[in-house]
Structure 1
Amino acid sequence: MRNATAEGELLHVASSGSRTVEAEPDLDHMGFLCDTWADFLLERSEDLTRLLTEIATRDSAVAELDSAIATLRGGRAEMRQFEGTTGGRVCTFLPSNNVLYSYVLFGLMPGLWSDEVLIRPSARTREAVFALHGILAGLPHNPVTMADVSQREFVALCREARTVVFTGRYENLHAIRESIPSAVPILGFGSGPNPVVAGPFADVAEVVRETTSSRLFNGGQDCLCPDLLIAHSSIYPELRERLAHAFAEVPRAPRERPGLVIPPMFYNDAFEAASAFIETHREKVFSGGTVDERNLRLEPTVVEFPCLSETHPPELFSPVICLTSYHEATEVRAWLTSETETERGMYVSVYGEPGLPDPVLGTSVNCGPRTSFQAEDGNRPFGGYGRRASARWQAGEVAARPLLLSREAGPHPAADAVGTPLVAR
């Protein structure tokens, strides 16, 4: 099945038919592989960081490598909770960012309990992913095959899969679902606005520091970056000024420079979308707003909106954040439970707002006074309860909930303590 060169570059993938899912898991061997793979990544850390810095900032590349190693180190404990059988094929549509971490989450980890994992990279980072696979070809018992095929051909391979992992646009997920038997589970990993709520008792300096570091992480190009900051009216003026100042202080520098920096944007389509957003709301720009089309640079930008209930920013995937205010916690709760936000609820960070103590607000997982980056853990379910953020699609139904592949592979892939029922199409 793995038709690769010695350097790990795939030449072709051909369908070999579905595999029987019947073997009992060897947990000791799974743990051994996780530890071995983690050691390999650590040994090749310089090569991996150098490669990742071609598409990401150095700090985000280092953080990604750390997360990948930590996930593998936690693999032994995670697999102790595995209740399924081994075998079958997993097909993964790899995202265009966090390619190493995604390779681990959606390639190596499911490879512990499947016969084979086929990965099709995003066209935007195809060369980098194949170069990454070339480095990781040295992994002992690497279960991943890179599928150098068209999307149509890859979807055909998905029809025989045990599980399909889709990381991409929600609209594209539905197009693919129509071509895959409904019995095949599709695990959809999307995105959400990941808002930050700064309440009347919030430490403004802390909120500004953590919002700046999370919004501008990798130049703003990550699905965990917050798109919206909702500040209580009592602290709003101070927070607005300090946030604008903090954004302006972040140096404009190449990706290779250590520290929080604003490099040229890597993704052309994200640059165009963010530029269009700024132009559409030019009169609402409080700070920043400069667009350099020639060099794909966006100045870190704060865009003010006067009414929370009418503010539903798209995924900005850029150094741009929306800012609005509120008076009562009930306004934030109403926003989080609105139709638009329950569809895409993922994470929400809450600082100094005692009126929002719930572990889940609407469909968003409450991180408390932490960023979504601090809350995310590769060995725990990812996402929220919005169907656009994370959901399992199977047999004409959707179960929107945080997802962990090893849990979803079990015989009873139930939701965690705060579950949601299956909802018809």
Structure 2
Amino acid sequence: MQERVIDFADVAERASKFAFVLRDRAEEIVRSLSGYECASVALDEIDRSVELLVNLHRNRTYFRYRIGGVTSFLPLNQPLYATACFGIVPALLAEDVAVRPPTAMQPHYRALMEAIDLTGFFPNLHISYAGKEEFVAERARTTEAIIFTGSPENGLKVRRHFRRNTLFILNGAGHNPLVIAENADVEAAVTSALRVVLYNQGQDCAGPNSILVHAGRAAEFQSRLSDELHRIEPLVGPYDDRKNIVGPNSDPDHTIRVAQMFQENRRYCVHGGEINPVTGLIRPTVFVRPLREGGNFREFFAPVFYLQPYETDADLAGYFEDEKYGPHAMYVSLFGASPYAESLVETRWHSAESILRETDLHMTEKGYLPYGGMGPAASCIYVNGERVEGATLPQRDIYRHLVEPLLAGAE
């Protein structure tokens, strides 16, 4: 066992050196992803990756002993940051790590890998461009932990091909509503909404499916939001224009599905609604639908602001107590005071950590902190086939469920 003991000083040094490389090669990284995402997103990914790598001392407890194999299925968004979280960090605590980017991302991912020479720095980290079935077959016998980002349904299909005792870490999707109470700072709430909805043109699990705004502040919120969207109109367009902050959808076929959802919601549209199925560009769009007509729990994966005015604080129950909310419960961003929203910490679906006050996920998410929610479709792990609901952190989960039992058995 001694040869698998981790020297954390070595881990920290390797992580720090690679963080410097990311900073040093920022221009090459932005260029490599210029056909896939806006320059602002690529630069944000660099910042988040560097922040994670230079702060691994916060997770030092989890770097004690190497396990065998880790297999990671990456999401369609944030290729660099996802690789840092689900590829590089596991490569520092496992002997063998394999990462597979989604098929639609692979041409751009190859360019990214050339820009950063990832496997040159982490030789035990392998990138696979094989089909999903082939990749699963290759990894089934050697994998001790799986990190899967995507829909729970697809995750379940993948998990069935691995041994029951393989640790399975699922990062799914959550609703993440914003709640703008009657006494909220509307300007701060609009700034937050713009940040979480427009990031990566809405292709992010932190994006809210619904923005619940008190009826007494709804007109002000909508007006301020509309002003800001008019201001950024010149910043919507192709990725190769470095100034743009909203670009085409990374999956052009998805625009057809979004168009269908737009059609279904057309009577609620108050801004935007323009979709180009040829380029995949979806312009920022605002829908306003009263909460009394039902909460929105559908994900657009597009720059969509779905405003849902509510009359009284108690009316928020119409959203949070809907049966469609719980399975995807993740975070609530609360602006102002709402006794109902604050009482959610007493329910199955929330804790004090998942009610964000006067801020949002893009400001609080860190790669060295647990991320996710109590909704099993938002995040969970499977330990010996049994589901454990809650936020995930691969380095912590691997340590608790694979390393600690191993070390305890050796004592």
| TM-score between the two structures when normalised by the length of structure 1 | 0.87
> Is the contact between residue 32 and residue 115 of structure 2 (CA under 8 Å) also seen in structure 1?
no
Q: What is the DSSP-based 3-state SS (H/G/I as helix, E as strand, rest coil) of the residue aligned with 2:148? A: strand
Question: What is the match of residue 107 of structure 1?
Answer: 87
Query: Could you tell me how far apart the structure 1 residues matched to 2:174 and 2:145 are?
Result: 23
Q: Which residue of 2 aligns with 1:8?
A: none
Cα–Cα, structure 1 residues 399 and 24, in superposed 2: closer, same or farther, change >3 Å? same
User: How do residues 284-363 of structure 1 correspond to structure 2 at under 5 angstroms?
Assistant: 284-308=268-292, 310-333=294-317, 335-355=319-339, 356-357=341-342, 360=345, 363=349
1:409 pairs with 2:398? yes
Task: Tell me the SS of whatever aligns to 1:110.
Answer: helix
| Alignment partner, residue 81 of structure 1 | 61
Partner of 2:407: none
Partners of 1:169 and 1:374 in 2: how far apart? 24
How far 1:215 sits from its partner (Å)?
A: 0.7
1:179 aligned residue: 161
Q: In structure 1, what is the Cα distance between the partners aligned to 2:140 and 2:47?
A: 31
Aligned Cα RMSD in Å? 2.3
2:62 alignment partner, SS class: coil
In 1, Cα distance between the equivalents of 2:141 and 2:46?
32
Whether the 8 Å CA contact 1:30–1:76 is kept in 2: the answer is no
2:144 corresponds in structure 1 to: 162
Distance 2:55 2:110 in 1: 26
Shift of 1:224: 1.6
The separation in 2 between residues aligned to 1:162 and 1:291, in whole angstroms, is: 43
What CA deviation, in whole Å up to 9, does each residue of 1:99-130 have, x standing for no partner? Answer: 00011100000111100110111011011112
CA distance in 2, matches of 1:177, 1:330: 40
Aligned to 1:24: 5
Contact residue 209 and residue 300 of structure 2 kept, 8 A: yes
Rate the CA distance shift 1:247–1:142 in 2: closer, same or farther, 3 A.
farther
Q: Label 1:353 to 1:21 Cα distance change in 2 as closer, same or farther (>3 A).
A: farther
Match of 1:136 in 2: 116
Code of the residue aligned with 2:228 in structure 1: it is A
Cα separation, 1, equivalents of 2:400 and 2:134: 29
8 Å Cα contact 2:288-2:309 kept in structure 1: no
**2:194 and 2:71 mapped to 1: Cα distance?**
36
The Cα of 1:289 is off from its aligned counterpart by 1.1
C-alpha distance in structure 2 between counterparts of 1:412 and 1:176, whole Å: 20
CA distance in 1 between counterparts of 2:198 and 2:33 reads 17
Asked whether the 8 Å contact 2:372–2:379 carries over to 1, the reply is yes
Q: 1:21 to 1:168 in 2, by over 3 A?
A: farther
- Measure, in 2, the Cα distance between the counterparts of 1:41 and 1:308: 48
Question: What is aligned with 1:17?
Answer: none
Letter paired with 2:213:
A
When structure 1 is superposed on structure 2, of 133-142 and 403-412 the one drifting more is 133-142
For residues 190 and 269 of structure 1, do their structure 2 counterparts lie closer, same or farther at Cα, with a shift above 3 Å needed? farther
Aligned to 1:61: 42
Q: CA deviation at 1:359?
A: 7.9
Report deviation, 1:273: 2.0
Of residues 179, 186, 194, the one that matches 1:197 is 179
More helix as a share of residues? 2
Q: Distance in 2 between matches of 1:260 and 1:233?
A: 33
Question: Are residues 22 and 359 of structure 1, via their aligned partners in 2, closer, same or farther at CA, if it must alter by over 3 Å?
Answer: farther
Partner residue, 1:391: 380
User: Out of 133, 157, 167, which is 1:152 matched to?
Assistant: 133
Question: TM-score, structure 2 length as denominator?
Answer: 0.89
Q: How far apart are residue 254 of structure 1 and its match?
A: 2.7
Encode CA deviations 1:276-330: one digit per residue, 9 max, x unaligned. 1101111121221122223322221111222357213322111112111223333
Pick aligned residue for 2:257 from 263, 273, 278: 273
Structure 2, unpaired ranges of 5+: 403-411
Q: Which amino acid aligns with 2:226?
A: A
Give the alignment partner of residue 123 of structure 1, picking from 103, 110, 135. 103
Q: 1:351 to 1:258 in 2, by over 3 A?
A: farther
Change (3 A) 1:56 1:21: farther
1:84–1:409 Cα change, 3 Å: farther
Superimposed CA distance per residue, residues 40-89 of structure 1 (whole angstroms, 9 cap, x where no aligned partner):
111211111111222111111111111011110112332x1216521310
Query: How many percent identity over aligned positions?
Result: 25
Tell me which amino acid in the other structure corresponds to 1:223.
C
**Alignment partners' CA distance in 2, 1:362 and 1:22:** 43
Letter in 2 for 1:48: I
Aligned residue number for residue 75 of structure 2: 95
- Residue identity opposite 1:305 in structure 2: R
Please list the CA deviations of residues 327-359 of structure 1 after superposition, one character each: whole Å capped at 9, or x if unmatched: 333332552243311101122110002413358
Which amino acid is 2:23 matched to? L
**Residue equivalent to 1:368:** 357
Q: 1:401 to 1:309 in 2, by over 3 A?
A: farther
CA shift, 1:214, in A, is 1.9
Return the letter of the residue paired with 2:251: Y
Greater relative contact order (Cα < 8 A, sep 6+): 2
Tell me by how many angstroms 1:257 deviates. 3.8
| Unpaired segments ≥5 residues, structure 1 | 1-19, 414-425
